[in-house]
Amino acid sequence: MLGIVFVLSLAVHFFLGFMLALPFWVVSLFILQFFRDPARQIPADPQAVLSPADGRIVAVEKTRDPYLEREALKISVFMNVFDVHANRSPVDGTVKRRWYHAGSFLNAALDKASLENERNALWLQTAGGQDITCVQIAGLVARRILCYVGEGAGLARGQRYGFIRFGSRVDVYLPPDAEPQAALGDKVYATESILARLKAHG
């Protein structure tokens, strides 16, 4: 997509001049910043659940995980169109199951988007047996969810596993005894920000 828009911008600039090409250059810059995917530092804490996305915290609440049908701590990250939209694994774990649901394209900041919008969910299980559900949710502008892994895949913390185009949300469902480290309204960054800490069991 970026290549096509860049070539079109260059052609309009060359044949019609800078002023007529300016809107095309603006679109090129927007797409370039949207698809950026910078390197990130991974926190050393083995019990940390890392943010799977850049954005702002819009939910920290006890609720029911609709995928694993259990009580859970839910933390949601809303990504606007200016955030990095690559999604990264919040924990070291194995993909036990993957679900895809077609749906609406409501504003992803709304709570009902979690159950009504197009979404892709991964059930991740850590080596210690802790279960985490990570849900990619399309938004008002987003029209495509990409997920690069399937059942049986192993993921390392911070590993890229998907992408959502143009404004979206990621919900993370954790064991109910997980300790939240992020608060409503916090700005978080994929991999570098800690959403919660898992209780050590056993």
More confident residue, 120 or 9: 120
Q: Which two tokens stand for residue 95?
A: 């993909």
Residue 29 scores a pLDDT above 60: no
In a domain? residue 154: yes
Catalytic residues: 168
- pLDDT at position 93: 96
For 13, the domain range is 2-34
pLDDT one-digit tens code per residue, 108-118: 566 766 777 88
- Report residue 2's pLDDT band, with 50, 70 and 90 as the boundaries: very low
More confident residue, 138 or 89: 89
131-138 sheet: strands from edge to edge: 154-155, 93-101, 119-125, 131-138, 168-174, 70-79, 55-65, 187-188
Mean residue pLDDT of the chain comes to 83
The residues that bridge with 119 in the sheet, in sequence order, are 101, 137
Asked if residue 117 and residue 71 are part of one domain, the reply reads yes
Asked if residue 85 and residue 167 are part of one domain, the reply reads yes
- Report residue 6's pLDDT band, with 50, 70 and 90 as the boundaries: very low
Asked if residue 171 and residue 93 are part of one domain, the reply reads yes
Residue 1: HSE in the Cβ half-sphere, 13 Å Cα cutoff? 10
Measuring CA to CA, which residue among 63, 143, 155, 160 is closest to residue 104? 143
Alpha helices (H) along 76-158: 113-116
- pLDDT at position 40: 81
Asked if residue 91 and residue 6 are part of one domain, the reply reads no
In a domain? residue 71: yes
Asked if residue 87 and residue 7 are part of one domain, the reply reads no
- Report residue 26's pLDDT band, with 50, 70 and 90 as the boundaries: low
Asked if residue 98 and residue 180 are part of one domain, the reply reads yes
Which residues touch 106 (CB under 8 Å, ≥6 apart)? Answer: 112, 113, 116, 117, 139, 140
Asked if residue 152 and residue 128 are part of one domain, the reply reads yes
Distances in whole angstroms, Cα of residue 150 to Cα of each of 101, 111, 162, 200: 15, 27, 11, 27
Distances in whole angstroms, Cα of residue 174 to Cα of each of 45, 53, 91, 128: 17, 16, 11, 14
In a domain? residue 54: yes
CB 137 within 8 A of CB 109: no
In a domain? residue 184: yes
CATH number for 112:
2.70.70.10
Asked if residue 6 and residue 83 are part of one domain, the reply reads no
Lowest mean pLDDT among 13-22, 117-126, 180-189: 13-22
Residue 50 scores a pLDDT above 50: yes
Distances in whole angstroms, Cα of residue 118 to Cα of each of 59, 74, 83, 162, 190: 19, 18, 20, 15, 21
In a domain? residue 202: no
Asked if residue 106 and residue 10 are part of one domain, the reply reads no
In a domain? residue 42: no
Asked if residue 103 and residue 166 are part of one domain, the reply reads yes
Give the total number of structural domains in the chain: 2
In the chain, the percentage of residues whose pLDDT exceeds 70 is 73
In a domain? residue 41: no
Asked if residue 115 and residue 20 are part of one domain, the reply reads no
Tokens 């959403």 sit at which residue?
A: 195
In a domain? residue 118: yes
- pLDDT at position 168: 84
Asked if residue 180 and residue 136 are part of one domain, the reply reads yes
